[in-house]
Amino acid sequence: MSRKVNHLMGKALSDYGMIRHGDRLMVAVSGGKDSLFMLNALESFKKKAPIAFDLVPVYVDPGFDNGFAPALKSLVSRFSGSMTVRYTDHGVRAHGEDNRENPCFLCSRLRRTSLFEMAKEKGCTRIALGHNKDDIIETLFINMFYSGRMGTMVPSQSFFKGNITIIRPLAYVEKKDIVKLAKRLKFPDFINPCPSDGHSKRSVIRDMLREIYRDNHHIKGNIFRAMGNIEADYLLKKSL
């Protein structure tokens, strides 16, 4: 792992107190470069960390034909031991005839429910997701453009009265740096069988932001900092 990415991931873990001594941390692997790199990085961190914790890799198969679960499980076993696969019909249900407007939302919600259930079954109190800095920025715009609200994914968020916490160790790391390191680690490209891949609302936002970033390389950092620098007095609110 590069010194820059190692520093950024370590800073996120420290800033948000993501991992504690004795934690049993479930790592949600999707087959994408982000989650695979995250698992690999957490394995490296575990070896040198001043605290002891366990990693439990899992994959929720969405149920599409031509899935890659066996190949993914084999890859993960090379650097992180056994990975649990839960086979579901989440993706198929989300793309059913009665849910054509927003299949990604339903699929994501069903997947998260499965992750919560698996965490309880395996005695895990924390779930690590592979969302990066770019994902967090994109989600802000998705929520504004398509839901009329301001909010995004946060690096650490508790659920069920603190019994389960979702963490995002790559929250400070840019996608382009993850791609470079994943290539160095020779992670394969798993073909996503989802029919919405490349045609989602996130893809639209990503293309828009790419054009904006091209004009000024400071913009991405400014947007990210702005999410933690809210001037509430200058946002719309109705009089009492």
Question: Class assignment of domain 3-229?
Answer: alpha beta
pTM over 0.85: yes
Mean pLDDT across the stretch 23-32?
Answer: 96
Question: Is 130 assigned a ligand-binding role in the annotation?
Answer: yes
Quick check: 224 and 133 in contact, CB under 8 A?
yes
- Pull the structure tokens for residue 141: 């715009």
Per-residue pLDDT tens digits for 40-89: 999 999 999 999 999 999 999 999 998 999 999 999 999 998 999 999 99
Q: Which long-range contacts (CB under 8 A, 24 or more apart) does 201-206 make?
A: 201/102, 201/104, 201/142, 201/145, 201/146, 202/104, 202/138, 202/139, 202/142, 205/138, 205/141, 205/142, 205/145, 206/134, 206/138
Token pair, residue 2, equals 């590069």
Assess contact for 220 and 213: CB atoms under 8 A. Answer: yes
Domain ranges of the chain: 3-229
Average pLDDT, the chain: 93
pLDDT value at residue 237? 85
135 is in an annotated binding site: yes
Find out whether 30 is annotated in a ligand binding site: yes
Q: At 214, phi and psi to the nearest 5?
A: -60, -30
Tell me whether residue 29 is annotated as binding. Answer: yes
Is 71 annotated as a binding-site member? no
Of the listed ranges 38-47, 191-200, 212-221, the one predicted with least confidence: 191-200
> What value does the mean pLDDT take over residues 182-190?
93
Average pLDDT over residues 106-130: 96
- Dist CA 103 CA 95 (whole Å): 5
User: What CA–CA distance (Å, rounded) separates 121 from 231?
Assistant: 42
Q: Is the pLDDT of residue 183 over 80?
A: yes
How far from chain centre, in Å, is Cα 34? Answer: 7
Q: Which of 126, 104, 138 is nearest to 209 (CA)?
A: 138
